Structure 1
Amino acid sequence: MAKLRKFNELVRNFADDIDFLTVYIEEAHPNDGWRIANDTKYDYKQHVILEDRIQAAGRLLEAGVESPVVLDTMENEANAAFAALPERLFIILNGVVVYEGGRGPILYNLGEVENWILKFKGC
């Protein structure tokens, strides 16, 4: 959420060339699990049923994410396949992962994604 403005900027700047997608996965710091102290803005329980995940993803949409948002399964299959928790960036080209970003928030690097896109476009 901290880097949402920059992510949205990438979505807008490259919308003609790139299909962006946000996959909403399980909560990284649920209030009924490993939570970050004093984080009351995003105070969510771990999703138990699909409705919980839908509700949490709705809050992401309310925050203004400009890419389409889809939900991981309740079995967390996308999270497991991509080791995405707590957040991660991937570029997939013709069904092949061509960029695998580091795990966020520390290694979540939108600048690397932007550089990859620019290089791909020949800029």
Structure 2
Amino acid sequence: LFKLEEFKQLVKDFRDVADFLVVYIAEAHSTDGWAFTNNVDINQHQSLEDRVSAAKILVQKDPLCPVVVDVMSNVTSTKYGALPERLYVLQAGKVIYKVRSPRR
């Protein structure tokens, strides 16, 4: 949720020309793992239901676009290398642009 306001502004700026989608992946900084202080209290997902419950916290923050959840085998995260976070632009089914956000 650290950069959510920046993401929301991106959606507002480009929603007329692009569709946005957030894919919720494995929790990188879970409370029962490598947690930051002042972070949302989310334990490492043990099931798809855990991951869906955690994604609902993000949905409550209104990201201005659909939120979907990666499967427990982390297929999306593996294919797109989404750590710490990434922005991809796809056109006609092909990645035409990607940017990795620096760790803070």
What's the TM-score once normalised by structure 1's chain length? 0.76
- The percent identity for this pair of structures is 42
Greater helix fraction, Structure 1 or Structure 2: 1
The equivalences for 1:14-29 within 5 A come to 14-29=14-29
The aligned length equals 104
- Give, in whole Å, the separation in 2 of the partners of 1:9 and 1:65: 10
The answer to whether the 8 A contact 1:88-1:104 is kept is no
Secondary structure at the aligned position of 2:16 is classed as coil
| AA at the equivalent of 2:97 | Y
Q: Which position in structure 2 is the counterpart of 1:96?
A: 94
C-alpha deviation, 1:104, in angstroms = 4.5
**Structure 1, residues 38-86: CA drift from partner, whole Å, max 9, x if none?**
23x4121111111111111100011121111111011000000111123
- Give, in whole Å, the separation in 1 of the partners of 2:22 and 2:102: 14
Secondary structure at the aligned position of 1:42 is classed as coil
Cα separation, partners in 2 of 1:103 and 1:71, compared to 1, 3 Å: same
Q: Cα RMSD between the aligned structures?
A: 1.5
- Higher radius of gyration, 1 or 2: 1
Cα separation, partners in 2 of 1:66 and 1:72, compared to 1, 3 Å: same
What's the TM-score once normalised by structure 2's chain length? 0.89
Greater strand fraction, Structure 1 or Structure 2: 2
Please list every run of 5 or more consecutive structure 1 residues that lacks an aligned counterpart in the other structure.
Answer: 107-123
Cα separation, partners in 2 of 1:58 and 1:20, compared to 1, 3 Å: same
